[in-house]
Structure 1
Amino acid sequence: MRDRAIIVAVRDKNNYKYFDETLEELKDLLSFAGAELKFVVIQKAHEINPSTLIGKGKIQEIKNLADHFDVNLIVFLNHLTPAQFKNLEKEFQNIKLIDRVGLILDIFAQRARTIEGKLQVELAQLNYLLPRIVGYGKMLSRLGGGIGTRGPGEKQLTIEKRKILKRINYIRKRLEMVQKNRSIQRKGRLRSNYPIVSIVGYTNAGKSTLFNVLTKSNVDVDRRAFTTLDPKTELAYIDDKTQVLLIDTVGFVRNLPKELMDAFKATFEELIYSDLHILLFDVSNPNFESHISYTNKLLDDLGASFIPKINVFNKIDKLSEEEINKIKEKYPDFIMISAKNKQNVDILKKQIKRKILEVTNEYKN
């Protein structure tokens, strides 16, 4: 049975610039997680309530809405501190509470497939839940599964902090072993003499579709967020004389949770070892310009901004000719493609070959 949810979003001086974008993104994330959105509650605030995030009047309004719509899940756009979570948990006795960070972690828990991916997600969830363990323990003792209760599981989240810390240390040691194996695989790729090209961008930008087109493989393609959690590598034939190792990477979202950035550090570090980045953006998304700036900022934060790149707009099949021409005028250096229809992919291939030749010549010199 699907969770029935209310979204609560506080607009303040810290988030007003990207409030509408992040709210729409949260709606998509909630849908990706499998919940049914019943209502959105928005509060404008000059100052955040340090105790409960929202005021008493708004709490009562949400309670009334929850009763009316028979809601069992409340999702907060804003990050909840452990104290806010604990206090809100007292107000909403029989309703699961989760914030945007927790929701993203939940989606990652659904998508994880490999041992490394599952360990990384569990580590991120436990680090996120550790300061909130008292509230989550009470909540999970009363409620069943669903959003906010996936991943490590009910038993893991209700034991005392000492055992949680022990579990965190155990996972870190396991990840060190797994990542040593990843390092061996990376060295093998570097010794292969094939240039390494990574497809980078926001979640749902069409990275896996482009990966399939270039490699002629059959990686899962899904419009839901974070379909790709574990980087996939295949040989791609750019032309008869040019082959590259192509990597399909984890998708970005704005303000990716620190817990995930830390847990997936080794995965994101793969980007540093690439010879070329294909930065892919969904040009049909109304917020594509902020996606460009955030992607470049994240690459800079990861220390990977020095890698040569090709900027690509995907999903031009969703735009009119007039819209495409306007965007071309503003972004003349971007390649416009439709990975789905294979439109202009030949142009992208030529640019990949040109860039790879430039990189190869630099190495020789």
Structure 2
Amino acid sequence: MFERPDVGERAILVHIDFSSHEGSEDPGEFRELVSSAGVEAVGTVTGTRKQPSPRLFVGEGKLEEISDAVALHGADVVLFNHALSPSQERNIERELKCRVLDRTGVILDIFAQRARTHEGKLQVELAQLDHMSTRLIRGWTHLERQGGGIGLRGPGETQLETDRRLLRERIKSIHKRLSKVRRQRDQGRRARKRADIPTVSLVGYTNAGKSTLFNSITRSSVYAADQLFATLDPTLRRLELPDIGPVVMADTVGFIRHLPHKLVEAFRATLQETTEASLLLHIVDSHDDRRDENISQVEDVLLEIRAEEIPVLQVFNKIDLLDNFTPRVERNEEGVPVRAWVSAVSGEGLDGLYDAIVERLAEDVVHYFVLLGPADGKLRALLHEAGSVLSEEHRETGETVLETRLQQRDWLQLLSRAGKSEESVRLDTERT
């Protein structure tokens, strides 16, 4: 009922510039969306208008131009790079005698094709059902023309109510199943929090190269392609970082300009990996002409999901497409890494990015020169066992000086296991 067969379709694309609207959609990005959906764009109709027509969205003359393009190219579907109301969609279909989809419908179609996990498929179906529930009447327009009389009274309305009831029941069932999945995810996140394992989440505009970079950093084989929304399902991988220890890295769904609110709602469980991360890697396509706008769009979505307070390290990817550009790490006035320029494909700059991630996560790493006496053997053994000893020096006085580097939380845990308090441990303050 909800997934289209995997066949090619011929489409006419429609893009109208409205003088009354700010921040109009990008026609180039829409062509990429259509291509990602597996649809062949055989023609494009553009135009300008002050504001949309309430009934047909476009004017009568523009609708005739679209109709001629459909007939000329033998198109199966007309795709609007705009949000259409259910009535506008229905009216346009009635005039053009072919299927009509708006921008949200195209994005939903891509999501339906790309979802791989049980959770991803449930989230996509929920978004589709929410979208479809306002358009149910489209399936029963052939009954609107039937008159009254015995045996013909209200069949369309009866069928429509049945469909609405079935949709409501299905939506309720999906919400239940998603709640179970979310509880399982929450358990995993709580376990990582108890173990104090930091999470690094990759976010960014769709097709910025997140999955390719994720594969390069984690040496994984997550599906990556030069298309919009190649990744829908969150992928988690465990890494071991120097000084930090185990870290979980998460690859998440890409964002897009004017991402439909229903999709943000449906994928809230997936985006939870972002909202509870220790560090966000904001991946940016450095070669994109609309780079700054894309950054702004991602920041808007982060604000919407309440993740704006999480520390961010910007990663400008695809520098291999820039002329004579060398990788580098940029720092703020305090010397903290804030931006890294890399190429996930060629590997340029990945070492610098790796070090920047470690540095950002190691903001609570402590570097101590610990003075130990003969009675401190247990603490010495625990520090060696944790792999946090950088050097060891034995003095003539019988004391031992250990140079240690480890997370503050690990330091406190080791002291507790050794039966010591912070105040009771002697440090070489001149060197610490």
TM-score normalized with structure 2 length:
0.74
Q: Which residue of 1 aligns with 2:324?
A: 321
Q: Could you tell me whether the CA contact under 8 Å between 1:238 and 1:353 is conserved in 2?
A: yes
Calculate percent identity across the aligned residue pairs. Answer: 37
Q: CA deviation at 1:26?
A: 0.8
- How is 1:84-103 mapped onto 2 (pairs within 5 angstroms)? 84-93=88-97, 95-103=98-106
Q: Which residue of 1 aligns with 2:304?
A: 301
- How is 1:1-365 mapped onto 2 (pairs within 5 angstroms)? 1-15=7-21, 17-19=23-25, 22-93=26-97, 95-136=98-139, 160-239=163-242, 242-321=245-324, 333-358=338-363
* Alignment partners' CA distance in 2, 1:158 and 1:278: 47
CA RMSD of aligned residues (A): 2.5
Q: Which residue of 2 aligns with 1:142?
A: none
* Alignment partners' CA distance in 2, 1:173 and 1:268: 18
* Alignment partners' CA distance in 1, 2:279 and 2:221: 22
Change beyond 3 A, Cα 1:59–1:222: same
* Alignment partners' CA distance in 2, 1:352 and 1:247: 14
* Alignment partners' CA distance in 2, 1:137 and 1:194: 54
* Alignment partners' CA distance in 2, 1:283 and 1:181: 37
> Secondary structure in 1 aligned to 2:247?
strand
Higher RCO (CA-CA < 8 Å; seq separation 6+): 1
Letter in 2 for 1:3: E
Change beyond 3 A, Cα 1:240–1:246: same
* Alignment partners' CA distance in 1, 2:233 and 2:193: 19
Larger strand proportion of the pair:
2
Q: CA deviation at 1:269?
A: 2.2
Q: CA deviation at 1:341?
A: 1.0
Q: CA deviation at 1:18?
A: 3.9
Larger helix proportion of the pair:
1
261-270 or 235-244, which moves further after superposition?
A: 235-244
* Alignment partners' CA distance in 1, 2:244 and 2:259: 39
Which whole-Å deviations, capped at 9, do the CAs of 1:100-145 have from their partners, x for residues lacking one? 0000000000001111111100000010111111215669xxxxxx
| Matched pairs, number | 341
Letter in 2 for 1:220: Y
* Alignment partners' CA distance in 1, 2:323 and 2:93: 48
176-185 or 121-130, which moves further after superposition?
A: 176-185
* Alignment partners' CA distance in 2, 1:349 and 1:49: 52
Q: CA deviation at 1:334?
A: 2.3
Letter in 2 for 1:217: S
* Alignment partners' CA distance in 2, 1:359 and 1:219: 31
Q: CA deviation at 1:261?
A: 0.8
Q: Could you tell me whether the CA contact under 8 Å between 1:200 and 1:251 is conserved in 2?
A: yes
Which whole-Å deviations, capped at 9, do the CAs of 1:274-333 have from their partners, x for residues lacking one? 0000000011111111011111121112111111110110000001026x79xx8xxx95
Change beyond 3 A, Cα 1:363–1:199: farther
* Alignment partners' CA distance in 1, 2:113 and 2:208: 20
